[in-house]
Each structure stands twice: as structure tokens, then as C-alpha cells.
Amino acid sequence: MLIVLATAAFLVGCSTHANGGTNQPNILWLVIEDMSPLLPMYGDGSIETPNLSRLAEEGVVYTNVFSTSGVCAPSRAALATGLYPNGFGANNMRTSSDTEETGLPKYEAVPPKNTKMLSQLLREAGYYTTNNYKTDYQFKAPKTAWDENGIYAHWRKRTENSPFFSVFNFTTTHESGLFEPYGVRELEKRHYFSSDAEKISKLPNHHGVKTDKDSTPVHVNPETKFPVPPYLPDTPIVQRDLWKVYNNLAETDKQIGAILEALEKDNLLENTIIVFYSDHGGPMPRQKRLIYDSGLRVPLIIRFPKGYKASTVEERLISFVDFAPTTLAMAGVNIPEYMQGQNFLSTASEREYVYAAADRLDGITDTIRAVRDRCYKYIRNYRPNDPYYLPVAYREKIPSMRELLEMNAAGKLNEAQSQWFRKTKDTHELFNVCNDPHELSNLAYIKNYQNKRKEMEGALNSWLSEIGDKPLMTERQLISELWDGKASQPITEAPTVVVRNGENVITSKTPGAFISYRVKNDETPLNWQIYKKEQPLKHGIIEAIAHRPGYVESEITTLVTKENE
């Protein structure tokens, strides 16, 4: 069963085409990393962000938007699928990278059978889909997901008049941007413009290694005094790291300005819905990786064409699982029933709660679940005998993190600052986030709040049951379940050609596998095309590949299709 929602077609004066069409709006995602709502439109006037401020003036500012996780890969899994990552094995950070610290095999999350990425659903509906550089979904994207995926991916390569869904990822604000020596990071050239001569050497976008000294221009006065949250000490080292945070944000604003300029240059601004957000909360200590609001709450600005709802503020609760169904609604595309999010542009219903989860972070395992309404957050710690602070080596490259550890060891932190370093956790935490936005006063054990705690616990339990989350399952048990008890990652069966009803069709024996194909010739191969179910093929030589997300991709096979008799 499919649910049809055509919420946003009227915004751009377009007709709705559930199966694709040239009148659908373009959709552009501008995604930054590791950033809380430290922007003028959210009340933080520390710096100016002219391009983001323009989007806010011409669009809608959403004030209660939350990632499902305080770290990137699980949150991106939610964005890509419309599913909660802790429901399909995607919540442990870095499941398929180096496993020396955990002793576990490499694995991928396995979405439910026939789950399609948002980009594939849009591609099937006629959109030209591009992703600039970053994926990180906890599973390898099938070749059906994108028309282009790489540093030079751009809407400008699409067929004329076809709508596009383009994602541009900006890494300048990433946590690694706080490491020392500041500014000595890799310059990643991005193809934001139309020709190779215009590749973005003038717009740095960094992620961790050496480049020239001018790679990070100074936009913000280093002498500026920045606001410090109460859980951090106001020291010169913390102030310098905050300067980096704001300076990186100012640089990213400039990069976003280049995208907007390119959009206007192509005369596409008034047929494009622009969505700006961050993948989770801020990069500072006690922000990223945690499921306090400092790690989950993000900015979201949507600019609709033709001034629709310009300069308005929307306070409804929004979760990352809502992004996929909402984007489909923007395009007038059917929303699959399996998606666990909802279209937040619809006025039919609003969320009562948003949910979040934390599990293994690099080599350190924790298990935490949380539910939040407008003013209260309930957190359940499944490992109460473990400390709150976990020694993630990557985070300890931040100077202020190292200073925090030194000050804690010397007994120099005040009560609010030392809370994170408690040796054991409260099993239950309840915060009034309207009165206590930094979540420092636990109300879970106070008599007057027991009814609220009971309500929130009930909401959390219902959510865990609905999505099939088993927090007490070990990661090794999870891997066994994802692999159906096998000793290694399942492999997608290679595609074959069969003749049905006198037509050549491609099949794979793996249930839920998606098939991509391209015509083989002596020239550069065409992009991989989505093979549609029971699609007849002309005779000739074809390359094909099958892939169920979470399984090993099949080998590329060369198929010789016979002429139909």
C-alpha cells in the first residue's frame, strides 16, 4: 500500500506527477556537519551569516528539529530511509570500518526488504539525483540510488528540463575543524559551477589533513567574546575553540552563497525548494555524540519558491525520519507505507514526541534511549554502572576536551561542568527542557514529576516496540540477526537474464535486491540505470549488477540478451 501526499505542488504552481514529470519542483539540500542552531535567526548574534539569513528571510525557520542520533552515520541512515536507525541495525557508529577496538566483524545495517533510499524513490519518479561527496548511511548505497555521487556531482549534468534532487554536503564545520593546527586541513574541490575551470578552489571545504595556509580565511574577529554554555568553563582555550566553531560557520555560509549564486545564474531559484540543515548538534565537548539537545537539536530552514511563507517561524516538533516523507510530498511522489516518519508540511497532524538513541561510538559502547515532547525529555540509561563521559579518542583531539579532562582531574570544574564526568549514570533522567535547556537538573526521582515520567516512559516503550528495537541485544547478537545466523555478510545473487512472455528480463534470486544495468559499448559506459521490475530489454550486450542494501553487492555480470522470437 502507498500513501499519496501532494502537499507542496501548489507552492511552486506545478501540477503533481506521482510518476515523474517536468513540472515537479527541484529540491536542493544544503547539509552542514556538527552544528547546533548558532545562527542569528535562532537568537545567536555572535556572527553574521548573510546567505543563511537571506534563506531565513525568504523562507521558513523551524525551531524544534532533532536528529535521531548525536553522530553522523546513524542520523544519515534516518535521513536516507525515513526509518529509525536503531530499528534496523544502523545505530552503532562505524559498522563497516576498522574493528580492532571492538573485535567485531565489519558489517552493514540491513534495512527491511524492499526499502528504497529517498534518492532512488525520487529517481524513479523522474528526478535527476546527485550527491556531492558524503554518503555514510551505515550501508553501501546501491547503484540505483543516485544518477551522480561524487565530488563533481551537480544538477547541471541532468537532461534539460528534468527536475533534480541535489545534495551538497559541507564539511568545514566538522568536529575535525577544531583540531590543531587550526586551518591546516585538506582542501576538497567541489564542482559547484559549470566548468572544470571554475572548480571551487576558491571555496575551501575541509575534512582533516594538510593544505595551504589560506584554506581557512578569517571571517570572525578572534578577540570576540563568545557565549559559553554552563557545562563548559569559560577559559581562553574554550573561547578559541568557540572562535573556530563560528569562523567555520562563517566560511560555510560563504560556500552556501556560491551554491545560491549558481542556482540564480541558472534561473532555477523560483522553481527550487531549498532545504538547509545540520546532520546533528554541535562539535564541542558534551555536544556531538550525546542525546541531550546539544547533540540532537539542529537548524532547519526551508525556502519555498514565490515567497511562500517567507519570514515565518514554525515551532512543531520534527524528527530526521520526517525528512524523507516530507521531501517526497514536496515532489508529489508516493510515500511508502513502511516509512516511520511523517510529512511535516501537512497540517493534518503534528508530532507529540521525537525519539533518539545512542549505542556504540567508535570503540566505546553505550546504550541510551530518549523521548522528547515540547517541554520534557525522558532518557533511559541501560548501562547505569558506566560513567557518562566515554573516552572517544577522536574527540580528545579537541583542545577544550583535553582541558576539560585536566580540569576535572584537578577538581577545578564547578557542579554543572563536572556532571558529565560522574562515574555512574542515573538509570532514569527527566528534564524540563523549556526551563532547563542544557539538561542539568534531573527531575526523574522527584515525587511531583512521577506522572510525567510515567507518561514519557510509556511513550518510549511504545516506540521501541513499534520499530523493533532491542536495546539489551549485544552488537554481536545484532550482527547474527542481520546476517540470518550466517558466519559472514550475505552476498547478493548476481543477476541473470530469463525470457518471460517472449521478453528478455533481468532477475536476481535475492529477495529485495535492486538491479542496475547499462548498455555495454566501446565508448565510456553510460550511467547505471534502474532496472524496473519485469522491464523488457532489447537484445544486445548489457552489464548488470544486483544489490540488496546491507548485503554484499553482486559482481558485475555481462548479460547477452537474445533477440525475441
Q: 491 in a domain, yes or no?
A: no
For the entire predicted model, the pTM comes to: 0.91
Q: Is 375 a catalytic residue?
A: no
Among 450, 482, 514, the domain boundary falls at 482
DSSP one-letter code for 81: H
CA contacts within 13 A on the Cβ side of 371: 18
101-110, 124-133, 329-338: the lowest-pLDDT one: 101-110
pLDDT for 184 equals 62
| 219 and 148 assigned to the same domain | yes
Q: How far is CA 382 from CA 358, 461, 480, in A?
A: 10, 13, 21
| 174 and 280 assigned to the same domain | yes
| Domain housing 529 | 496-561
Q: 201 in a domain, yes or no?
A: yes
Say which CATH number the domain at 555 has: 2.60.40
Task: Name the average pLDDT for the chain.
Answer: 89
pLDDT for 185 equals 55
| 271 and 372 assigned to the same domain | no
What pLDDT, in 10s, does the model give residues 503-557? 888 999 999 999 999 887 656 557 899 998 878 877 778 899 999 999 999 999 9
What pLDDT, in 10s, does the model give residues 531-542? 988 788 777 788
Task: Provide the percentage of residues in the chain whose pLDDT is more than 90.
Answer: 79
- Counting every residue written for the chain, the total comes to 565
pLDDT tops 80 at residue 197: no
The mean pLDDT of 422-444, rounded to a whole number, is 98
What pLDDT, in 10s, does the model give residues 454-466? 999 999 999 999 9
| 350 and 372 assigned to the same domain | no
6-15, 28-37, 264-273: the lowest-pLDDT one: 6-15
Say which CATH number the domain at 301 has: 3.40.720.10
CA contacts within 13 A on the Cβ side of 222: 8
Q: 64 in a domain, yes or no?
A: yes
From the candidates 14, 72, 375, 434, which is the catalytic residue? Answer: 72
- Distance between CA atoms of residues 325 and 348, nearest Å: 14
Backbone angles phi, psi at 532, to 5 degrees: -90, 150
| 404 and 441 assigned to the same domain | yes
What pLDDT, in 10s, does the model give residues 279-316? 999 999 999 999 999 999 999 999 999 999 999 999 99
Task: Provide the percentage of residues in the chain whose pLDDT is more than 70.
Answer: 88
| 268 and 350 assigned to the same domain | yes
Among 358, 385, 414, the domain boundary falls at 358
Q: 240 in a domain, yes or no?
A: yes
pLDDT for 72 equals 94
10 Å CB burial of residue 364 (0-12, 13-18, 19+) is: middle
- Distance between CA atoms of residues 134 and 73, nearest Å: 10
| 390 and 520 assigned to the same domain | no
Nearest to 296 by CA among 364, 208, 397, 369: 369
Place of cell 594538510: 210
pLDDT tops 70 at residue 143: yes
Backbone angles phi, psi at 411, to 5 degrees: 70, 30
Among 452, 482, 512, the domain boundary falls at 482
pLDDT tops 60 at residue 195: no
pLDDT for 207 equals 33
What pLDDT, in 10s, does the model give residues 11-61? 444 433 433 445 899 999 999 999 999 999 999 999 999 999 999 999 999
| 93 and 205 assigned to the same domain | yes
Q: 489 in a domain, yes or no?
A: no
What single letter denotes the amino acid at residue 399?
P
| 125 and 83 assigned to the same domain | yes
Cβ contacts of residue 78 below 8 Å, gap of 6+? 67, 68, 69, 84, 85, 90, 319, 320, 321, 323
| 106 and 202 assigned to the same domain | yes
What single letter denotes the amino acid at residue 51?
N
- Distance between CA atoms of residues 340 and 162, nearest Å: 29
Total of domains in the chain: 3
pLDDT for 525 equals 58
Q: 421 in a domain, yes or no?
A: yes
pLDDT band at 448 (very low <50, low <70, confident <90, very high): very high
pLDDT tops 90 at residue 490: yes
Q: 528 in a domain, yes or no?
A: yes
| 325 and 187 assigned to the same domain | yes
| 156 and 212 assigned to the same domain | yes
Q: 363 in a domain, yes or no?
A: no
